[in-house]
Amino acid sequence: MNTKMQTLLPLLVLTLCAQSLHAISIPPKFDGFVYGNRPAFDPDAIIIEAFMDPVCPDSRDSWPPLKRALHHYGSRLLLIVHPFPLPYHDNAFVTSRALHIVDKLNASATLSMLELFFEQQEQLYNQPTHNLSRAAVVDQVVKLVVNVVGNSFETSVRSGFNDRKTDLATRVSFKYGCSRGVYGTPFFFVNGFVLPDAGDAIDYKGWRKIIDPLVGVHKHKEENYHFFL
Ligand SMILES: *[C@@H]1O[C@H](CO)[C@@H](O)[C@H](O)[C@H]1NC(C)=O
Ligand SMILES: *[C@@H]1O[C@H](CO)[C@@H](O)[C@H](O)[C@H]1NC(C)=O
């Protein structure tokens, strides 16, 4: 490769990546799954966006303390979970896709599905599935999904894995994460701002430290706001 090519190559790669980002059309609905039975946009709520990979141990470990914080703050918090399948987890895309399939069948069960994946994720790690065909892995995932949505949905779940729409929805989730600069999981944004230490689980104390000042537990809300500026 000549020197000129070497200089131009990074530019070319950047351009191609940017093009693929623009090539995705805007989805008809905001990506992600809302925790609890709530509208996606409550203007008074503190919005947490969590990018999670169903087969990522750090995502799994971050879930209980986050749930505890949600319980503590109640309606002050709004959680939106975005699936973000990491490329080095072989079964991240299929399990993320399963979340979209469940969401279509029964949106109240989507995050229970995520919880079951967290509980059972070890059977879907790279090593134990190394010798399995894609079809065998999908079979294994369908069994887990049916545990959550019920046996009567088995046919719909299976056809969900052949439905291009669920494939596209999962790609949208991934691309949305990329467009926000996500490069690991779990990755959190609060009111649109990225939290430091992205990619690490945050414990309950950590969440209290982040959210308490925002809800003005100790001081007047406005005062706090200026303090942080
Ligand atoms: C949807 O999921 C919720 C929560 O798991 C469950 O209570 C409800 O019965 C389910 N609805 C149907 C139609 O299966
Ligand atoms: C996968 O198959 C190879 C060759 O048959 C075998 O040596 C290996 O132990 C298998 N790995 C697992 C995780 O089952």
User: Hey, where are the domains in the chain?
Assistant: 3-228
Check if the beta carbon of residue 100 is closer than 8 Å to that of residue 106: no
- Determine the residue of 130, 132, 140 to mutate for testing ligand 2's pocket, defined as the one with the most ligand atoms within 8 A of the Cβ atom: 130
Q: Of 40-49, 106-115, 142-151, 169-178, where does mean pLDDT reach its minimum?
A: 40-49
Which residues does a 6 A CB cutoff place in the pocket of ligand 1? Answer: 106, 108-109, 112, 150
pLDDT confidence of residue 88: 98
CB neighbour list of residue 112: distance below 8 Å, 6 or more residues apart: 148
* pLDDT at 189 exceeding the cut of 80: yes
What is the rounded CA–CA span in Å between residue 68 and residue 211? 13
- Give counts: helices (H), strands (E), the chain: 9, 5
Q: Which class in CATH covers the domain with range 3-228?
A: alpha beta
Q: What is the pLDDT of residue 105?
A: 97
